[in-house]
Structure 1
Amino acid sequence: MKTTLGVLATGLLVSGLMAAPAAGSVGTASYPLTVTQTSAVEVATFWLGNGGANLANATPYAVQTDIDEVILSGSATADGKPGTVPPVLPPDGGPSAGKGPAGTGKVFFVGPDGLPHWCTGTAMQSQYRNLVATAGHCAYEQQYGGGLGKWVFVPGYSAGTAPSGLYVGKQLFTHFDFPAYGDYDRDYAFVTVYNGVTSSPAGELTDAGRLVDQVGGQGLTWNQPLDSSVDVFGFPAGVHPDGSHPQTGDTLETFSGRTSAAQAPSLKAEELTAVDSPFPGEGSLGSSWLLRYDKTSRAGYLNAITISVADTDGDLRYDKSFSPYFDGELRAVYSDAVTQWSGSIVLP
């Protein structure tokens, strides 16, 4: 199936009224990102047109990248029994085979400044194989009360190209407390995406299939004990306080560490998870923390997601990353998102 690239979208933000919590959830807020086939094609045009120029020119998102005051203790505790959702293994071969965790990539969007930006994102197991996880503020804009504009996910992103397709965001799901109260203990988002698309030199869009069918999807885990070993994956690109700039954001970087509790009073966050980390905040927002990651299968269980970093020892180098603690309330938001169908943006 093919369609032709259309006129560029003009809106910067697609906002909607806060949805009532879904039945059985503890408090999910849901916002539309791109709601029609026509607008989704326009979003794909914006990113894939002109040889992917807007992808190549996007800069790492620089909102809430670091924390000034951190308390390295906290009240992050399980609110129920531990649980898991198993990953979906990636298909053999393909453009992104053997290059880090299955389904890791960049989320792109237009920020409140009208410019293209990106964070890190991760494809997730879901009923319709169409879900992406990232930091809440890499999908929701507090100032305008809605989703960030022209939101897309590019797994295996490389140098302005989308080797496994570009996936336009359809619906954003986050915890009610994040948009309502600015509570960064709930700074996480799950976004449903339409089937991926690729673009020909002539400007025709071709359906690339469902996200997880193409690249695999990570599992999910919640209510896990702290002091767990995790592998962290992201695209750090920012500058440390001393001015050093060790990563460019062009390649996927990784490190391993053990989780601990933390608080950030300025973010109204008392139940954060911390890990020793050499990443600056810009570019690494949304980075996945995978529990029981297996390099051979390229799969594990999403256990946390970077929302900010800090220099806790005063040496002018960022040394810790922070995430909301994944508890049963996160699992409820995921459960509301996981059953939402998206479909294709390419007309038969």
Structure 2
Amino acid sequence: MKRLLIPLVSAGLSAAIVATPASAQPHWATDNLTPKPADAYGAAAFWLDANGAALRKATQYTSVDSQDVPKLVSSQSKGAPDGKPGMTGPTTTAKATTSKNVNLPKTIGKVFFLDGGGHYRWCSATSIQSRNRNLVATAGHCVFENGKDDVYDKWVFVPGYYQGKAPWGVYVGAYAYTAYDLDTYDDYDGDYAFVAVHNGFSLAGEKDVTRREYKEWVGDKWLRPREITHEEFVKCQLNLGECWSQGQGEPSLVGPDHPDAVLEKVEVAKGTYDAARTGRGQGFKFGEPVVEQLTKTQWEAYKGPGAKGTGPDKLGNYTVVHYYTQRWVKPDSGRRYFEAHWVVGVAKDMGRLGDVVGGQGFSWNQPLNQPVTAFGYPRDLHPNGDRQFTGVTPKWCAGKTGTKTYQVNTFKVETHQVLKCSMTGGADGGPWLLKYNNGKRTGYVNGVTSMFHDNDENGRIDYISSAVFDGETADVYNKANYQATKSIVSPKGELLQ
């Protein structure tokens, strides 16, 4: 891969500096995504909440405008390797689904993230073999924000994604690796990325717990009131803070020892709560503050006495904290009675990505004109406005790559490999698998879809292109290959610290 040269700004620079070879620069660049378990849990919960609503809301992300696809120009190069060819073998798991006469691998799926404008986006990707069974291969522009020297937010991989479902869990990106030239110069000859992901997890429902367990729980949790009878309420009053009454109008205030007294809670401002005493009596504190989780719209519209947070918390929730004091009243016929139920959301650790869905092999410095099978989730229109794909299910193309490499001047590309294929944007990041075995559903990742081209100018995509995987790509892969990650939920389903 070539290096872009930065012009010298002073003629007085020493000859030694001028003579320093560009190869002294590293071949790879790395950035953190969400390495901390709490942040990773929040990113996954963001996408899984409300039965995958955010996943379904996401739209395809692509490197090019479908109405203005770039032209390919032959470089007349046969893609001479920069070292010896190499391969790392795949790992396999159980059989996956079938599309016509091609067995779709379990390893492929979508990556989801928030782009620089806060839009919900997705690209295509695959699990790839690695030392720690935790690596995802995709396009660099699906991880690193062009021209921003930064990575996208809430980045996750969902293998086998289908209509908001994550059948094998959600895997949150921890550490991203890409070519130095892409990260530094937006040079699409290095448009690939390898992302080390945490163990996958899924949301496994909820359960009632004691107040103490609720207080100690570090995952999702909430207070859910349950209506009870007056008789149940009388028994419950012995446990201050676990039950209360509600009603319309202003009842007669009485003391806590009045034979007909019932306990009500009254929401107050934080300052009033903080100034109140602890114990039994009018105006005393009523239990612990209660955190309510809201949607962003609900949170923005909230006008009550509770204390609003400044934005989403570490789990991605918008919250209001409610504070209550006691009020002892003589009940009337309009009173209703409630008991607190302390509820926690339980997550399930799915294990390492490669153990769950397997991982494709990896190859570099292979000759051009090789048969490959490319997979992805295309969604964009063709340049002529035709919508051929939905982005819901994965598609594929098979054939030999071109005999020569191609240039795309607008993206600083000098040596892309090409494949005749009509997949459109959304297939970005999908793997090009060399030596694909239809029975085992495995091959060797020898490229990832980077760009789309209408080379005969008939208004339809007819070629896709990828960076050539060479020795520098192998260097980037090797760096990612040794990156360790971890589980983000405990065996009992709560967030690990």
Among 156, 177, 183, the alignment partner of 1:179 is 183
Kindly indicate whether residue 329 of structure 2 is the aligned counterpart of residue 329 of structure 1.
no
2:73 to 59, 65, 71: 71
Mapped partners of 2:70, 2:28: distance in 1 = 29
Cα distance in structure 2, aligned partners of 1:293 and 1:165: 25
Corresponding residue for residue 208 of structure 1:
350
CA distance, structure 2, for counterparts of residue 307 and residue 125 of structure 1: 21
Aligned residue in 2 for 1:225? 367
Q: Output the CA distance in 2 between the equivalents of 1:174 and 1:62.
A: 17
Task: Tell me which amino acid in the other structure corresponds to 1:171.
Answer: Y
2:164 to 153, 160, 163: 160
Q: Say whether residues 1:293 and 2:436 are aligned partners.
A: yes
Whether the 8 Å CA contact 1:65–1:285 is kept in 2: the answer is: no
* Equivalence for 1:107: 111
Pick the aligned partner of 1:89 from 85, 88, 92. 92
Q: Which amino acid aligns with 2:150?
A: G
Number of residue pairs matched? 321
The residue correspondences of 1:1-348 to structure 2 (distance < 5 A) are: 26-64=26-64, 67-75=69-77, 76-90=79-93, 92=94, 96=96, 100-202=104-206, 203-260=345-402, 261-280=405-424, 282-347=425-490
In structure 2, list runs of 5 or more residues that go unmatched: 1-23, 207-344, 492-497
1:195–1:272 distance in 2 versus 1, CA, 3 Å = same
- Quote the offset at 1:220 in angstroms: 0.5
Contact residue 102 and residue 299 of structure 1 kept, 8 A: no
Larger Rg: 2
Change in Cα spacing, 1:320 to 1:177, as seen in structure 2 (3 Å) is same
Q: Is the 8 A contact 1:25 1:333 kept in 2?
A: no
8 Å contact from structure 2 (residues 62, 123) kept in 1: no
CA deviation map 1:52-111 (0-9, x unaligned): 100111110144356422203443321111100000012x25xx4555123100000001
Change (3 A) 1:183 1:245: same
For residues 65 and 84 of structure 2, what CA distance do their matches in structure 1 show? 32
Partner of 2:248: none
Check the 8 A contact 2:61/2:123 in 1, yes or no: yes
For 1:74 and 1:142, how far apart are their aligned partners in 2?
28
Q: Distance in 1 between matches of 2:204 and 2:37?
A: 19
Does the Cα contact within 8 Å between 1:74 and 1:263 map onto a contact in 2? no
Q: Give the Cα–Cα distance (whole angstroms) in 1 for the partners of residues 131 and 62 of structure 2.
A: 33
Per-residue displacement from partner, 1:217-248 (whole Å, max 9, x unpaired)? 00011111111111111110110011111110
Aligned mates of 2:25, 2:111 — CA distance in 1: 26
Task: Find the residue that maps to 2:428 and give its secondary structure.
Answer: coil
Contact 1:65 1:308 in 2 (8 A): no
Residues of 1 paired with 2:149 and 2:64: CA distance?
Answer: 17
2:63–2:450 contact (8 Å) kept in structure 1: no
Which range is displaced more, 262-271 or 207-216? Answer: 262-271
Report which stretch shifted further, 310-319 or 24-33: 24-33
SS of equivalent to 2:130:
coil
SS state at 1:201 partner: strand
SS in 1 for 2:473: helix
**For 1:64 and 1:205, how far apart are their aligned partners in 2?**
38
1:210 aligned partner, one-letter code: R
Query: Which range is displaced more, 208-217 or 259-268?
Result: 259-268
- Measured after TM superposition, the shift of residue 329 of structure 1 is 0.4
Cα separation, 2, equivalents of 1:120 and 1:103:
11
Render the CA deviation track for 1:130-180: whole Å, top value 9, x for unaligned.
000000000001243111100000000011011001000000000111111
